[in-house]
Amino acid sequence: MCSFYCAHRVPRGRNGEPTPSMITSKIGTHVSISGGIAKAPSRALEEGGETFQCFIRSPHGGKAPPLTQEIIDSFRAEMAKYKLNDFYIHSPYFINLASLKPAIKYGSISVLREQLEQGSLLGATYLMTHLGSHNDQTLQEALTKVSTGIHKILEGYSGTTKLLIEISAGSGNILGDTFEEIGTIVSKIKGIVGFGGICFDTCHAFASGYDYRTKEGLDRVLNEFDKKIGLEYLKLTHVNDSKSDLGGKLDRHEHIGKGYVTLEGIAHLLTSKPFSKIDWILETKPEGRLQDVKELKQIRDLNK
C-alpha cells in the first residue's frame, strides 16, 4: 500500500483539483437495517463511517414495514447519539419508471413518492434510484416515460429529502448508462421542487465506458458530464472498483484497488474538484470493507 501512497500526490488536472482545505467529502458505507433502521447509525460507525446509506424497505419487493413515530424518534436519537448529520436512502431494485405494464410503472411512482416522504420524516438528504429499462419500446419513448414519471412523483411534494438519479452500468436495455440519456431526462425535470441531481457510481460509469483513470481521461469525463448534464447536478458518489473491464456493461462491484479501475484511477476521480465536495458511499461486500474505508480516507487525506 505504501508504494501508492508514498509515490503519489493528489492528482492534478486542468479541472481545478482542490487543495486539501477544499476537500469536504464524508465517507460512508451501505449498511443493513436488519432488526430495525435504528440500528443503522451504530453499524455505520462500526465500519468507520461518517455517514451512510441504507434501504428503508426490502429492495426486492413485498409489503413495506410501517414507519411509526416511535421508529422515527428512535432513529433520530441514534443519529444524534453518534453525531451523524446526513444519511442516504437507496430505492428498491424493482423500480421501472419506463415499464409498459401500468402496475409496475405506477407502482414505482408510488413507492418513490412514499420513500421521499418517509425519508423526510427520518431526515435523509437524498433518495437515489435507478430508472428501469426500455423493453419493447424506443429509447426516446422510455426516456419520456421516465421524465413524466418523475414529474408525477414530485407533484405537490414539499419534503426535505430530494430525488437523485443513479448512473447505471448499461447491461441489456437498462436506462441511464450514458450522460446523454441522463441529460435528456434532467433537461425535462430540472427546476422541479424535490429533484436533487445525480449519483455517480464509479463502477457503473466505468462499466459504461467512461475512463477516468488518467488525468486526460478524467478531464474528458468531467467535461462531457458538464456538457451533457451539468456538474452542478453532481450530488453524491457510490465508490466501487469494478470486476468488469472498461465498457464491460456489467454491474459487478469490487473492493477498492482490487479491480480494473485501480486505486490510482479512483484517486484521480475522487480528488477532482467536483468529487471533493460530495460524499463518498461504499457499496462493496462487508468482508474487506474496513480496508476499503481506510483506503478512501487515505485518498481524501493524502495531502493534509
Contact call for residues 167 and 177 (beta carbons, < 8 A): yes
Q: Is residue 224 classed as helix, strand or coil in its secondary structure?
A: helix
* Separation between Cα atoms, residue 247 and residue 171, nearest integer Å: 10
Q: What is the pLDDT of residue 171?
A: 85
Three-class DSSP category at 208: coil
Domains for the chain: give ranges and CATH numbers: 15-59+73-102+111-301 (3.20.20.150)
What ranges in the chain are assigned the alpha helix state H? 2-5, 40-46, 69-81, 102-122, 139-154, 179-189, 202-207, 215-228, 263-270, 289-301
**pLDDT by residue, tens only, the chain of 304 residues:** 444 554 444 444 444 444 444 568 999 999 999 999 999 999 999 999 999 999 999 888 888 889 999 999 999 999 999 999 999 999 999 999 999 999 999 999 999 999 999 999 999 999 999 999 998 899 999 999 999 999 999 999 999 999 999 999 988 889 999 999 999 999 999 999 999 999 999 999 999 999 999 999 999 999 999 999 999 999 999 999 999 999 999 999 999 999 999 999 999 999 999 999 999 999 999 999 999 999 999 999 875 5
| Radius of gyration of the chain from its Cα atoms, rounded to whole angstroms | 19
pLDDT reported for residue 23: 60
DSSP β-bridge partners for residue 90: 128
H/E stretch holding 82 reads none
What pLDDT was estimated at residue 304?
Answer: 52
Question: Cβ neighbours of residue 93 under 8 Å, at least 6 residues apart?
Answer: 59, 60, 130
pTM of the full structure: 0.92
Are 243 and 260 a contacting pair, CB within 8 Å?
yes
pLDDT of residue 10: 46
| Distance between start and end Cα atoms, the chain | 18
Rounded to whole angstroms, the Cα distance separating 172 from 162 reads 28
Q: How far apart are the C-alpha atoms of 119 and 213, rounded to whole Å?
A: 35
**pLDDT the model gives residue 21:** 45
Contact 118, 67 (CB under 8 A): yes
User: What is the reported pLDDT for 12?
Assistant: 44
